[in-house]
Chain A
Amino acid sequence: MNYLLTSHVWRQDHNGFSHQDPGFADFVANKKADTVRLYFPPDANTLLWVTDHCLRTWNRINVITAGKQPSPQWLSADAAERHCKAGAGIWDWACTGPSGEEPDIVIACAGDVPTMETLAAVDLVRTALPEIRIRVVNVVDLMTLQSHSEHPHGFADEIFDRLFTTDKPVIFAYHGYPYLIHRLTYRRNNHDNFHVHGFHEEGTTTTPFDIAVMNQIDRFHLALSALRRLPQLAERSAQFGAALERKLEEHKAYVCEHGEDMPEIRDWTWPYGTAAEAGD
């Protein structure tokens, strides 16, 4: 049984509260682990891989949540294939600080809008505080988060710990209700450090970015959340934090005045490029 769910919570241009329930994933996650699969491909090539994979399976309930709006593309076909086969992984090209070192903080994401906001948040922090080591983890196959003893796709603890560390703060931007991430990860070593942003039943018909702001899954709130978990930054983070708060006020004033998102939001792109081949 294959489901494609689009036009999800995070775009309410034409619709409103009635179209905002992302709880189908929670409902499916209740079902027996040997049948259910939840996929959150962040872009087109990952969606193609996931679709192809699902149409090859039997005895499964596959739920694919994907966007239909014009969105930035992150991974080439080969990179998408590697990433999807793993189910989740570190996006080296998006991390900051020297490669291979333990990060100061992990920012993780599942879903297309959370992924974009995560990368935009990384951009903000990287610009203001270049010395912070951020690791970006993207999750396509949500059930990798669950313990291997509970779900056949669940990562072994060693693999999970390699991605999420055992002691660093993890900001997790998730497409749906945040509790599901806690449910899936509660046995993991680093669970106490997980801070999940997701849908909080806020908002109705408004701009795409505004509904993200209302649920605090936008780049500014994610960056603020990261700052709060990095006490070593002290004064510098206070100044940066104040700037982020001002941005949120500016955003609210702008959308209420103009009815669309600020140009710097609409036109944001990942400014750093990468090596010859995108993604990993």
Chain B
Amino acid sequence: MDRYWRAANYLSVGQIYLMDNPLLREPLRAEHVKPRLLGHWGTTPGLNFIYVHLNRLIRKRDLDVLYVCGPGHGGPAMVANTWLEGSYSEIYPDIGRDAEGMRKLFKQFSFPGGVPSHVAPETPGSIHEGGELGYALVHAFGAAFDNPDLIVACVVGDGEAETGPLAAAWHSNKFLNPRVDGAVLPILHLNGYKIANPTLLARMDVGELKSLFTGYGYDPFFVEGSDPMAMHGLMAATLDEAMDRIRDIQTGARKEGWAGDRPRWPMIILRSPKGWTGPKEVDGEKVEDFWRSHQVPVSNARGNAAHRQILEEWMRSYRPEELFDAEGRLLPEIAALAPKREKRMGALPHANGGLLKKDLVLPDWKSFAIEVPEPGGRIAEATRLMGAYLRDVISLNGEARNFRLMGPDETSSNRLDAVFDVTDRVWMEGIEPYDVHLAREGRVMEVLSEHLCQGWLEGYLLTGRHGLFSSLHPHRGLHGQPACEMAEDLGGIALAQADRLVELSVDLPCLAPGP
């Protein structure tokens, strides 16, 4: 497993730096190095570490695992791992699993005409566009709803954990029903730093940190250290324990006589160095385990021979000759560690919602229409009729469990309450006898954070289901920002993400037609 991780790290560094000489068969020369070095190394080794350990878990327990990569800067990690497991080359046959394929894989990264620096819709196995922060965990929960056999492993970076949407997203466990929904395993990755600062959660007192997540309703398991071999043992054991806990919860909830209590789901707090296994120092300044490893730790590897030497030593420290054969293929005994076929996280059908989607069964809308004998001759509330229509949409698709109505507590205010003739609001917290239409199961999800509504629905749709977001007008400053994928704002940003995923999915070979 350590060799697999080293291979992923080697490929990640190669993507950031190299355009030729991928296996370092000859000494590294300036022309092998890209003229513009663009990418993010800091988060990447941790993401690779998690991927490798999830592979082990999938193989051991025959799981369907969706990997939601919150630190979207970690594009090299997801590309490296899907190339190692083979799913990448199946979708992009031009990038073969040999030395020439590796050369192209390296060159295309953050390169004109190639792939973006972030995890993106074109990354196999991804439903989450990285780079903007805040939505990883809500996307994970959205994917888990009504997918009882799915495990969603969601990596939350400690930078992203400082955002409002992500802070609210921890409460999603109050809406996840262990009997009918899948499980989300949050992995909070504390690598300690963001761009030029430490992160809040990494510097918090450990007792407070534990209390925070206990307070959110989770059972945090800590995996901390920097020695690779010790960390492998710790991570494997912890993932096993967390998975046992998930299975216990699900088995209990899926038996007769389940009391309906909200379970205390496990989560993992992984503390590992930023830029782990990279250069310790460059030009006399601390790099590994510090924010200087955030992007490109050796910044002038093309023009400066000393920098180039650091890069070459760094890449050779992974001992590529022990990982790849003469043709550049991953050695068979290492390749055998990856899951097979659709169990590979890059080939998971849930991450390609278009493959799984089923059309909704819809009623005849005209049967809900009102008589209008002459214009203006009748007064009605338009959305009340829509509510009756949606009630039947929910009934007709009840068995398929593939439609949800989400919104910030406005289903009734919006006159859609006819839906409560046939369903309830899902709610895993306490329910009082006088509460109205709250239940452990329900097609309606209401929470005041529009970020959660938006993100849940995106995760739900991108895994092949249907839904409707019902709201008053989105609030000023919430959705109204000029938006691109990197803008700061929330609803707008989430929409930008949905839009990007939708628009790209129209043309991408890796995605079937989506939501």
Contact = CB atoms under 8 A, between A and B. Distances in A.
Interface of A: 1-9, 15, 17-24, 26-28, 30-32, 34-36, 41, 43-45, 47-49, 51-52, 55-56, 58-61, 66-77, 79-81, 91, 93-94, 112, 119, 269-271, 273-274, 278-279
B38 interface: no
Contacts of A41: 382
Nearest to A33: B503
Given A47-B385, A55-B362, 11 more contacts: A4-B386, A6-B383, A6-B472, A18-B476, A35-B499, A58-B514, A61-B498, A68-B381, A71-B382, A75-B375, A112-B382
A49 B473 contact: no
Which of B384, B466, B468 has its CB near the most chain A CB atoms (within 10 A)? B468
Kindly name the residue among A21, A26, A34 whose own CB sees the greatest number of chain B CB atoms within 10 A. Answer: A21
B386 A48 contact: yes
A9 B359 CA distance: 34
Nearest to B415: A68
Contacts of A73: 370, 372, 375-380
Interface string B322-336: 000000000000000
Contacts of A2: 467-469
B370 A44 contact: yes
Given A48-B368, A273-B375, A1 B473 contact: no
Interface string B468-510: 1111111111111111000000011001101100110110000
**Central interface residue in A2, A22, A68, A112, by most chain B CB within 10 Å:** A68
A48 B502 contact: no
Interface in B320-375: 354, 357, 359-360, 362, 365-366, 368-375
Contacts of B471: 3-6
Contacts of B184: none
Interface residues of B, number: 67
Given A93-B375, A274-B375, A28 B380 contact: no
Contacts of B357: 58
Contacts of A75: 372, 375
A94 B458 CA distance: 41
Given A21-B474, A72-B376, A75-B375, A28 B384 contact: no
Contact of A68 (B383, B457, B491): B383
B457 A1 contact: yes
Nearest to A67: B382
10 contacts: A5-B471, A5-B474, A23-B476, A24-B473, A35-B502, A35-B503, A48-B365, A55-B360, A77-B369, A273-B374
B495 A5 contact: no
Contact of A61 (B378, B499, B506): B499
Nearest to A6: B414
A22 B378 CA distance: 27
A157 B479 CA distance: 32
Nearest to B469: A3
B473 A7 contact: yes
Nearest to B378: A73
Nearest to B393: A55
Contacts of B461: 1
A45 B483 CA distance: 34
B414 A7 contact: yes
Contacts of A44: 369-370, 380-382, 384-386
Contacts of B359: 56
B515 interface: yes
A71 B414 contact: no
Given A20-B476, A72-B376, A61 B495 contact: yes
A60 B385 CA distance: 24
Contact of B362 (A18, A28, A31, A52): A52
Interface in B272-311: none
